[in-house]
Chain A
Amino acid sequence: MASAMLSFASAPASLSVHENLKGKAKIGSANFRSSVPERNPFAKTKHFGRVSMSVAVNVSRFEGITMAPPDPILGVSEAFKADTDERKLNLGVGAYRTEELQPYVLKVVKTAENLMLERGENKEYLPIEGLATFNKATAELLFGADNPVIKQQRVATVQGLSGTGSLRLAAALIERYFPGAKVLISSPTWGNHKNIFNDARVPWSEYRYYDPKTVGLDFEGMIADIKDAPEGSFILLHGCAHNPTGIDPTPEQWEKIADVIQKKNHIPFFDVAYQGFASGSLDADAGSVRLFASRGMELLVAQSYSKNLGLYAERIGAINVVCSTADAATRVKSQLKRLARPMYSNPPVHGAKIVANIVSDPALFNEWKAEMEMMAGRIKNVRQKLYDSLSAKDKSGKDWSFILKQIGMFSFTGLSKTQSENMTNKWHVYMTKDGRISLAGLNLAKCEDLADAIVDSYHNVS
């Protein structure tokens, strides 16, 4: 091998190599250093099996590292598993379940995967920005293929690792190009939003959102807080099916939100994790995003296919940045790529191909739409049954109609922490302490029991 010559003399060290290794000298101690300053003690050594260098064992550098806080939702699932009561109900789950309360793999996904398997495609690297056919399909799905922002090529779309990865890319873009700009997130919001912005070193604060008195939207508070934010802030909005409350603004309220955002020169930043899953219609669920785009605003939109295609584990999503010119979109895309490269080089191919195959094939696309309507439909039925049961069982006259007004997988019941604990301890209903239940984990058969539990917890526990 053509390597440079060792500059070390091959004369033996004054301490034999064997003695060194057996503990006669500790490396780093003055003694040893002065006796063997520059020589290579291994110059004549043959490698002989297991050699332990008798150096002072390094105190581990990791001494001070503590356990990271456990994921709160994981704790719910684990407690549920450990519960042996047959009435138990897991309403902490964030993934769709069938009426039999089983995980659901969309038929259209299985079909697409089989097609891909038959074709035997290669596994080459995707470009940094992801699969081109996927990027095109996802932007068109979001804005509509005929939308001016698409026709004018003003959208920078980069494939991301589901919603999380797409949000992180956007956060990194904000950190680099809008230093000091704040992101406003709803109170409450999905737990991971804070982690993403913290790790990306983007400052954030909250805007009022949930009103516990009405179990609805604190619209006045929301508008006031957005108005008070420094000009040019990023406002994180859930495009549809707000997580965790299930409370969405009405179309009229969306208009007013757009007004105040424009007035304050803020940048709308949508997290769209449930397109098609909320109402059953892809177009309707994109309404808020399209409204803002139609106003000529520049905006950011993170998308995820975890729920609406059940592709949780494949990590497929996208970040879209709507710019006012095609040139700006090109430049923004290049900078998103530059942020992605030192994170993971290029995104995973499998999920992107599944989505692209489904969207580009009219038969598969229609099948997907039908399955989504079915999933959203089941949730709506369950909401109706729960509402009916609550209204029948609760004689206090309390208005439970917020269950019907809320949308998507999750519902904020308005139960307090202690009331939620009662749900679990007395009724074996597992949910998060903020009063959130996942309708995806509920079926028609269990609505009556659940209503009993809720009525009891609400009225008999303070």
Chain B
Amino acid sequence: MEAPLLMLPPLHLYSPGALKTPDMTSATTAHHRSNSTVVSPNLSAEELIQHVEGSPGRGRQKTRVPVVDHVRPAPKDPIASVGEAFQADASPNKINLGVGAYRDEEGKPVVLRCVRNAEAKVAGSEFLESISTLANSRLVEESIKLVYGKDTDVIGEGRLAGIQTLSGTGACRLFAEFQRRFYPRSKVYFPDPTWSNHHSIWKDAEVPQGTFSYYNPKSKGLNFPALIDDIKNAPESSFFLFHPCAHNPTGVDPTEEEWREISYHLKVKNHFPFFDMAYQGFSSGDLDRDARAIRTFLQDGHLIGCAQSFAKNMGLYGHRVGCLSILCTDTMQALAVKSQLQQIARAMYGSPPIHGVLLVSTILGDPDTKALWVEELRAMVNRICKMREALQESLEKLGSPLNWEHITNQVGMFCFSGLTPQQIEQLQREYHIYMTADGRISMAGVTMSNMDYLANAIHEVTKSGQES
């Protein structure tokens, strides 16, 4: 069965402005009900149900012009729609390289042993109301230790405003709402490219956005001079969003030295650094190493914000667990900021779901379970590195005319393949291989069993030597 072709809609279609003109002028033809039957207030449940659902036609109104008729179909989400198209494809050879969820050697989803252990430990306890407050503060405590280092002064000084969030997305959205509320004239800058949802999040929070140079398509690496220029040229006190490790979608990260320089230039312009850390531990396999950029900025005296997600590094995707932390100058301020964040959350979803919170705080709070986690995280990273090496090797062995070094140069879950839209479309149509329209490949979706098929397919569509 032919799967629907993917089309990445132009960014302007995400703008709500395009849709803000409902036609409310059409006349309605509601016709007034003339016989109302008096109903006794002392009806039994059955009688009440009968009265309501009763006989067809009784109480039925002629349907007026539908109120929601002007609502048009939304463009498909560029990442989620890959999975949907993949699901619809019946080919036995199909490969899903779309969403960034880890898969094992058999291509199956994985639940980490540390998670299963934690789950057995917490079973049944989460419905006790008393557990919520405790678990929530433990989660925040453990999360900030993970990011900033457990011995850092700022934790002891109580300077971090921390709140549990609905994974990384929720953390970003809370921060964006906070930014709009308290810095209404500020603008946020994203790396070009960035995770597509960043644009939607800050747009829906009504914060103006721009981008800064990041990826160099020719070198398939970092465009550092242009990046620095853009930092310098942005209006003072802008907000800059960085991926501290395993940049999504490119897999290209600055070096330590480059981070220090970025930090310096941010200081000069009084910009606010905001980190979206969705892959701590997934980049190098070392949790502390992956947080180094953030800790550099911390040492350099910036007041930073950080969104964390436990979706990938703990495999807790569906549980929506994350943390937002904002560094303040003192405890009083941290309390004030935290109270404001809680208020924003309360009007959006109340509080985050407890199950994931319990799992993460159990894993991070118990040394043995945490050690197991670190081990399992390294194993996931090792497998991805092996896949990177194997894919590059296979393509080179096939005699590909192109340079595939970026496959092993890039880090984290994704490879920015450099494939053109035509090549991507061909891969989908002819080979049933799915990836996002920007050419991002989720390496987690690659296994030794689909490796040859994948390498061969990529080689076939690229062997004429076209570079993007």
User: Do A and B come from the same complex?
Assistant: yes
Q: List A residues at the B interface (Cβ < 8 Å).
A: 1-7, 27-28, 40-42, 45, 47, 50-53, 55, 57-58, 60-68, 71, 95, 103, 105, 109-110, 113-114, 117, 120, 122-128, 144, 147, 160-162, 164-165, 168, 172, 176-179, 192, 195-196, 198-200, 232, 250-252, 255-256, 259, 262-263, 265, 267, 279, 281, 283-284, 287, 290-291, 294-298, 310-316, 321, 323-325, 328, 330-332, 334-335, 337-339, 341-351
- Are A51's CB and B299's CB within 8 A? yes
The residue that A342 contacts in the complex, of B110, B169, B223, with Cβ under 8 A, is: B169
- Are B255's CB and A1's CB within 8 A? yes
Task: Determine how close the nearest CB of chain A comes to the CB of B392; give it in whole angstroms.
Answer: 13
- Are A67's CB and B339's CB within 8 A? yes
The residue that B201 contacts in the complex, of A3, A162, A177, A342, with Cβ under 8 A, is: A342
Q: Which residues of B have CB within 8 Å of A95?
A: 129
Give A103 to B124 CA distance when docked, in angstroms. 13
- Closest B residue to A122 by CB, please name it: B109
The residue that B225 contacts in the complex, of A4, A68, A123, A332, with Cβ under 8 A, is: A4
6 pairs of A and B residues whose beta carbons are closest in the complex: A349-B318, A161-B349, A313-B354, A284-B45, A344-B166, A250-B41
Give A246 to B180 CA distance when docked, in angstroms. 38
Q: Which residues of A have CB within 8 Å of B75?
A: 338
User: Quick check: is B173 within 8 A (CB to CB) of the other chain?
Assistant: yes
A287 and B173 in contact, given A164-B348, A313-B354 (Cβ under 8 angstroms): no
**Tally of A-B Cβ pairs under 8 angstroms:** 356
User: Quick check: is B319 within 8 A (CB to CB) of the other chain?
Assistant: yes
A330 and B353 in contact, given A283-B45, A313-B127, A342-B201 (Cβ under 8 angstroms): no
- Are B328's CB and A348's CB within 8 A? no
The residue that B30 contacts in the complex, of A58, A265, A284, A348, with Cβ under 8 A, is: A265
Other contacts beyond A126-B318, A251-B39, A324-B66: 13, CB < 8 A = A2-B406, A3-B254, A55-B267, A109-B127, A117-B119, A161-B348, A172-B204, A178-B24, A195-B343, A287-B48, A314-B354, A338-B74, A338-B77
- Are A350's CB and B63's CB within 8 A? no
Q: Which residues of A have CB within 8 Å of B128?
A: 103, 105
Task: Determine how close the nearest CB of chain A comes to the CB of B295; give it in whole angstroms.
Answer: 10
B288-299 near A? 1/0 per residue, CB < 8 Å: 000000000001
Task: Determine how close the nearest CB of chain A comes to the CB of B259; give it in whole angstroms.
Answer: 10
- Are A296's CB and B60's CB within 8 A? yes
Give A120 to B132 CA distance when docked, in angstroms. 24
User: Quick check: is B92 within 8 A (CB to CB) of the other chain?
Assistant: no
- Are B80's CB and A127's CB within 8 A? yes
User: Quick check: is B346 within 8 A (CB to CB) of the other chain?
Assistant: yes
Q: Which residues of A have CB within 8 Å of B120?
A: 117
Task: Determine how close the nearest CB of chain A comes to the CB of B107; give it in whole angstroms.
Answer: 13
Give A195 to B342 CA distance when docked, in angstroms. 12
Give A284 to B52 CA distance when docked, in angstroms. 9
Q: Which residues of A have CB within 8 Å of B40?
A: 252
- Are A348's CB and B355's CB within 8 A? yes
User: Quick check: is B300 within 8 A (CB to CB) of the other chain?
Assistant: yes
Task: Determine how close the nearest CB of chain A comes to the CB of B460; give it in whole angstroms.
Answer: 25
A251 and B43 in contact, given A66-B336, A124-B318, A290-B52 (Cβ under 8 angstroms): yes
A113 and B203 in contact, given A198-B347, A328-B71, A344-B169 (Cβ under 8 angstroms): no
The residue that A3 contacts in the complex, of B224, B347, B350, with Cβ under 8 A, is: B224
- Are B129's CB and A60's CB within 8 A? no
A199 and B344 in contact, given A4-B221, A52-B299, A61-B272 (Cβ under 8 angstroms): yes
| Binding stretch for chain A, among B15-23, B137-145, B382-390 | B15-23
User: Quick check: is B415 within 8 A (CB to CB) of the other chain?
Assistant: no
Task: Determine how close the nearest CB of chain B comes to the CB of A447; give it in whole angstroms.
Answer: 24
- Are B257's CB and A199's CB within 8 A? no
- Are A315's CB and B349's CB within 8 A? yes
The residue that A348 contacts in the complex, of B19, B257, B320, with Cβ under 8 A, is: B320
User: Quick check: is B468 within 8 A (CB to CB) of the other chain?
Assistant: no
- Are B68's CB and A321's CB within 8 A? yes
Q: Which residues of A have CB within 8 Å of B30?
A: 262-263, 265
B171-193 near A? 1/0 per residue, CB < 8 Å: 00100010000110000000000
Give A456 to B458 CA distance when docked, in angstroms. 83
